[in-house]
Structure formats: structure tokens, C-alpha cells
């Protein structure tokens, strides 16, 4: 597990920079805002302790916030994602639990499993983010459309990212 | 204490989450303008909101009554004004004999239907012949002339709005006594046209246009509007003056219906003289 630390540090910077330098600049009609950085939380090892998970989520959200000039907003949404992750993982666990030494990636537990897991968490994250962004539930339809559009967009990008790392992860 | 610590340790995940969320929330409301505004306004709304809403509800129920009383009193006071009395300038009339000279009576009414967007606009009032309203009475509001009653049922009456090309009101310029007639050209809901002012009259922008008192419907001197634009069509000896209406017809609420007690007498006499 120790050997994974440098890779996660790299992942952290990679996704934050990807988010703030490229994805935040993309604008598709205002309804499609991909937030790919949540992949970092999604792919953390199963055994990650709760406090570390939350701390990493807070730092990750705050870093994205700092660069996109929205202090606290990504942080709050990412924290919710991190808080819910253990419950979702428990719920979607295979019959004999997760094998030690594996990571929550499609290469270990199949594409279907990962999609299920990612859809729920990304949907929750995006929903909370857009609610916090508008800070009211007046235009709830608008928030819903934004959430759905952006979730699909994020998932497609996530799929592309997974294709890149598919082979590498096999070797671990 | 130990149990408490154990409880905290057992649920450290949730507590840490709540703590972090709290920090995030503080960050959000202190550094994001939009969220901050919403947070501040909604928190003060919650605090003061309850008492205020209760108070508002009470006030609203009272408002209707207050409005009705005020408009009735307005109508009464207007009836008592010097302009409501027949002004006689001969030396022999009795001073203070109000019964014989009272000429104009005012009744308060509420607008229940109103249109401004059509070509021929009408107003419906909530009082009818039961309340003493008859066709050909004038309709005023506190800011000026509104129209003329054309039909009455027991409880309702309809009036031609000033914004109706079928209505012509005799008007004059305040201060100079040159008179003409005001009618609507069906263009803007804020302007009417004052016609038939002779070209040798002095007209300035901003002059007040008032009723002339010749028409037997309105007392003299009720405001219609202000001169906004002066045109002099070529080859005509009359000005065509654009007048900005004083009342806002899109938000009429309470009006007064003015009755000229001597109207029939005047009309009858005029009719007989023409034959």
C-alpha cells in the first residue's frame, strides 16, 4: 500500500491541474460542467481510513476552489461525496467482500460495477455542488438538468481516463 | 466523560464530516458574494419574518376597509369644495344658501375591470344605478380625468376610458382659456391629442391641460395632463398638441364618479335653443 502513495500524490496534482486549467475553461451552454477531479476520491483504496478520506476530500475540494474562485463550494460537495463513499462501497460489495490489495477500479471489479458506483457518487456530488452554487431550490429544474448533463459528461470523461490507465493498473 | 469521548471516537467519521462541512459553509458564506447575500437575507428574513408576516396579514385585512373609508371621505370632501358649487357672480345671490347652488356630487367607486391594450378601452366600476350612478357622469381619479360612464346596471357600470377614440372631452389650457378637445389617437397609453387650439394661442411645453367645464360632465379645472409636444400641421390654423396623461391608466384602483345636478337642465336648454 505504501508504494501507492507517490501515485496518489501524482494523481492529486494531475486531476486538480486538469480541472482548473482545462475543464473549468470549457463551457458548453452553461449546462455541462464536468468535474472530473472527483475521480481522485473515487479511486482511493478500500482500506483508506475515514479521517484520511475526509481530509483528502477537504484538501482536494479546497484546492479546486482556490483556483476557480469559489471558496468552500467544491469543498462542501466533495466532502459529501467522501462521506457517502464508504456506505456506497458497502452496499455494492461483492458477496465475499473486496479482496485485499485491490482498488475500486473497473480493471478489478468490472466495468458494470464501477459504472454503478461512479454514477451514484458523481450524481450526488454534482447535485450538491449545483444546489450550493445557486444556494436556493427555486430553480430546481435548472439544477436538475445541470446535474444530469454534467454527470453524463463527467462519466464519459472518466471512462476515457480509465481507458488510459487500464493496462497500467493490471500490473499492480 | 469517558463515555462521551468513546462516543466521539466511535462516530469520528461523522463528526469530522460535520466539522469539515461547517468550515466549508463558513468559507462559502464569507467569500462568495452571491451566497453571502442569500445567507444574510434569508437569516434576517427568518428572524424578523414571522412577526412581520403576521403583522402584514393583519394590515392587509384592514387595508381594504381603510381604502374604502378613505375614498368615501375623499368623495365627500370633494363635494364640499368650492368648485362643486355653482359660482354665481351677481350681487343678489344669497350667501351660504348651499342647497340651491350645490352643483357637483362625488361618489367613490372601485375599478373592477380595466383595459389599456385594446383599441376601444372600457372601465368597469363596482357601483351602479342603485348607488345613484347614471350614464353620462364623469369618472375621475385623484390624479385627473379617467372617462365617462356609458351604461349602468343595478350594481355595476361601465365607462369609456380616456384611452378610447370614441371619447372626446372639452379641454383648455390652464391660464389662457383657449379651449379645444382631447381625444386618444390609439397609439400610446400615456398620451392623448389636444386639438382645435387656435394657432395664435400661447402654448408652452409643460403647460397643464384641464377640463373646460363646457361639457356639462366635468367641473371646470380638473387636470387631464401636461403638454408634451406641440405640432402645427401645415395649412391648418390649429395646433395639434400631444398631451401626457396625468393618471396612470394601467393601475387605476379607486375612482370617483362626478354627478352634475344641472346636467339635464343644461342639455335640455341647449337642445331647445338649436331648434
Q: Answer whether B173's CB lies under 8 Å from B206's CB.
A: no
CB atoms within 10 A of CB B263: 18
Between CA A72 and CA B41 the distance in angstroms is 19
Between CA B138 and CA B150 the distance in angstroms is 9
Between CA B206 and CA B47 the distance in angstroms is 49
Q: Could you state, in order of their start, the residue ranges of all structural domains in chain A?
A: 2-171
Of B159, B171, B140, which Cα lies nearest the Cα of B256? B140
Q: Answer whether B178's CB lies under 8 Å from B198's CB.
A: yes
Whole-angstrom Cα Rg for chain B: 30
Nearest CA in chain B to A85: B13
Q: Among the ranges A125-129, B27-31, B62-66, B70-74, which has the highest mean pLDDT value?
A: A125-129
C-alpha cell at B87: 359660482
Q: Answer whether A170's CB lies under 8 Å from A134's CB.
A: no
How many residues in chain A?
172
User: How far away is chain B from the Cα of A75, in angstroms, using its nearest Cα?
Assistant: 6
For the domain covering A2-171, report its CATH number: 1.10.1760
3-state secondary structure (DSSP) of residue B18? helix
Residue B86 lies in a domain: no
User: How far away is chain A from the Cα of B38, in angstroms, using its nearest Cα?
Assistant: 7
**Cα distances (Å, whole numbers) of residue B266 to B152, B162, B260, B269:** 22, 23, 10, 5
Q: What is the reported pLDDT for B192?
A: 92
CB atoms within 10 A of CB A115: 14
Phi-psi region of A88 (alpha: psi -120 to 50; beta: other; left: phi over 0): alpha
Burial environment of residue B117 by CB neighbours within 10 A (0 to 12, 13 to 18, 19 or more): exposed
pLDDT at residue A160 greater than cutoff 80: yes
| pLDDT digit string, tens, across residues B96-125 | 555 556 788 888 888 888 888 888 888 998
Band of residue B244 on the pLDDT scale cut at 50, 70, 90: very high
Closest CB to A72 among B17, B28, B38: B28
Band of residue A171 on the pLDDT scale cut at 50, 70, 90: very low
Helices A111-134 and A140-171: angle between axes, nearest 10 degrees: 140
Nearest CA in chain B to A133: B35
Nearest CA in chain B to A81: B17
CB contact under 8 A, A54 and B23: no
B28 touches chain A (CB under 8 A): yes
Residue B137 lies in a domain: yes
Q: What is the mean pLDDT of residues A49-69?
A: 90
Closest CB to A54 among B17, B30, B39: B17
Which residues have a Cβ under 8 Å from the Cβ of B102 and sit 6 or more positions away? Answer: B79, B84, B85, B86, B261
Q: Interior CA angle at B33 toward B30 and B38, to 5°?
A: 90
Q: What is the mean pLDDT of residues B188-194?
A: 90
Whole-angstrom Cα Rg for chain A: 16
Q: What is the reported pLDDT for A139?
A: 79
- We report the CATH number of the domain holding residue B143 as 2.40.10.340
pLDDT at residue B94 greater than cutoff 60: no
Q: What is the mean pLDDT of residues A86-107?
A: 84
**B16, B36, B37: best to mutate for the A interface, most A CBs within 10 A:** B16
DSSP state of B265: H
Band of residue B29 on the pLDDT scale cut at 50, 70, 90: confident
Report the share of chain B in percent with pLDDT over 70.
90
Q: In chain B, how many domains are there?
A: 1
**Cα distances (Å, whole numbers) of residue A47 to A161, B17, B81, B162:** 23, 18, 91, 81
Residues of chain B found within 8 Å of residue A51, distances taken between Cβ atoms: 12-13, 16
Q: How many helices and strands (H and E) does chain B possess?
A: 5, 12
B73 touches chain A (CB under 8 A): no
Q: How many helices and strands (H and E) does chain A possess?
A: 7, 0
| pLDDT digit string, tens, across residues B126-162 | 888 898 898 889 998 888 899 999 988 888 899 999 8
Q: Which spans in chain B are helix H?
A: 2-10, 12-31, 33-80, 98-101, 263-274
DSSP state of B136: T
Q: What is the mean pLDDT of residues A4-30?
A: 83
Residue numbers of the domain that contains B224? 103-261
Report the share of chain A in percent with pLDDT over 70.
92
Determine which of A58-62, B19-23, B167-171, B185-189 has the lowest per-residue pLDDT on average. Answer: B185-189
Residues of chain A found within 8 Å of residue B39, distances taken between Cβ atoms: 135
Residues of chain B found within 8 Å of residue A80, distances taken between Cβ atoms: 21
**Cα distances (Å, whole numbers) of residue A17 to A28, A63, A65, A68, B174:** 20, 9, 12, 11, 75
Residues of chain A found within 8 Å of residue B25, distances taken between Cβ atoms: 72, 76
Amino acid at each position: 500500500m505504501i508504494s501507492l502513495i507517490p501515485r496518489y500524490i501524482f494523481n492529486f496534482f494531475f486531476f486538480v491541474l486538469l480541472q482548473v486549467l482545462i475543464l473549468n475553461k470549457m463551457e458548453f451552454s452553461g449546462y455541462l460542467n464536468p468535474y472530473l477531479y472527483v475521480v481522485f476520491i473515487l479511486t482511493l483504496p478500500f482500506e483508506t481510513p475515514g479521517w484520511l478520506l475526509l481530509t483528502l476530500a477537504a484538501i482536494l475540494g479546497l484546492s479546486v476552489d482556490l483556483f476557480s474562485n469559489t471558496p468552500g463550494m467544491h469543498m462542501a460537495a466533495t466532502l459529501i461525496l467522501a462521506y457517502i463513499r464508504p456506505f456506497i462501497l458497502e452496499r455494492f460489495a461483492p458477496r465475499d467482500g473486496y479482496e485485499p490489495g485491490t482498488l475500486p477500479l473497473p480493471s478489478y471489479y468490472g466495468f458494470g460495477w464501477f459504472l454503478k458506483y461512479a454514477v451514484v457518487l458523481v450524481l450526488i456530488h454534482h447535485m450538491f455542488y449545483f444546489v450550493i452554487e445557486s444556494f436556493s431550490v427555486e430553480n430546481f429544474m435548472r439544477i436538475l438538468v445541470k446535474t444530469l448533463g454534467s454527470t453524463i459528461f463527467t462519466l464519459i470523461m472518466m471512462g476515457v481516463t480509465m481507458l488510459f490507465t487500464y493496462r497500467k493498473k493490471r500490473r499492480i | 466523560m469517558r463515555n462521551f469521548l468513546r462516543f466521539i471516537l466511535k462516530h469520528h467519521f461523522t463528526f469530522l464530516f460535520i466539522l469539515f462541512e461547517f468550515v466549508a459553509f463558513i468559507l462559502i458564506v464569507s467569500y462568495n458574494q452571491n451566497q453571502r447575500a442569500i445567507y444574510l437575507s434569508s437569516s434576517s428574513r427568518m428572524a424578523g419574518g414571522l412577526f412581520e408576516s403576521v403583522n402584514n396579514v393583519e394590515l392587509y385585512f384592514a387595508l381594504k376597509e381603510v381604502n374604502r373609508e378613505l375614498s368615501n371621505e375623499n368623495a365627500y370632501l370633494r363635494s364640499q369644495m368650492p368648485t362643486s358649487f355653482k359660482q354665481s357672480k351677481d350681487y343678489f345671490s344669497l350667501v351660504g344658501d348651499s342647497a340651491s347652488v350645490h352643483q357637483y356630487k362625488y361618489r367613490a367607486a372601485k375599478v373592477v375591470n380595466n383595459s389599456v391594450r385594446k383599441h376601444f378601452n372600457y372601465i368597469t366600476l363596482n357601483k351602479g344605478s342603485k348607488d345613484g350612478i347614471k350614464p353620462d357622469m364623469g369618472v375621475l381619479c385623484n390624479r385627473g380625468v379617467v372617462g365617462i360612464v356609458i351604461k349602468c346596471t343595478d350594481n355595476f357600470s361601465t365607462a369609456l376610458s380616456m384611452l378610447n377614440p370614441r371619447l372626446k372631452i372639452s379641454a383648455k389650457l390652464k391660464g389662457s382659456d383657449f379651449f379645444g378637445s382631447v381625444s386618444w389617437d390609439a397609439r400610446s397609453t400615456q398620451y392623448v391629442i389636444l386639438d382645435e387650439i387656435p394657432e395664435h394661442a400661447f402654448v408652452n411645453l409643460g403647460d397643464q391641460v384641464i377640463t373646460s367645464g363646457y361639457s356639462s360632465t366635468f367641473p371646470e379645472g380638473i387636470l387631464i395632463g401636461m403638454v408634451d409636444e406641440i405640432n402645427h400641421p401645415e395649412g391648418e390654423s390649429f395646433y395639434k398638441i400631444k398631451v401626457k396623461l396625468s393618471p396612470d391608466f394601467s393601475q387605476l384602483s379607486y375612482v370617483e364618479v362626478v354627478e352634475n345636478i344641472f346636467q339635464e337642465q343644461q342639455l335640455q336648454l341647449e337642445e331647445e335653443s338649436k331648434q
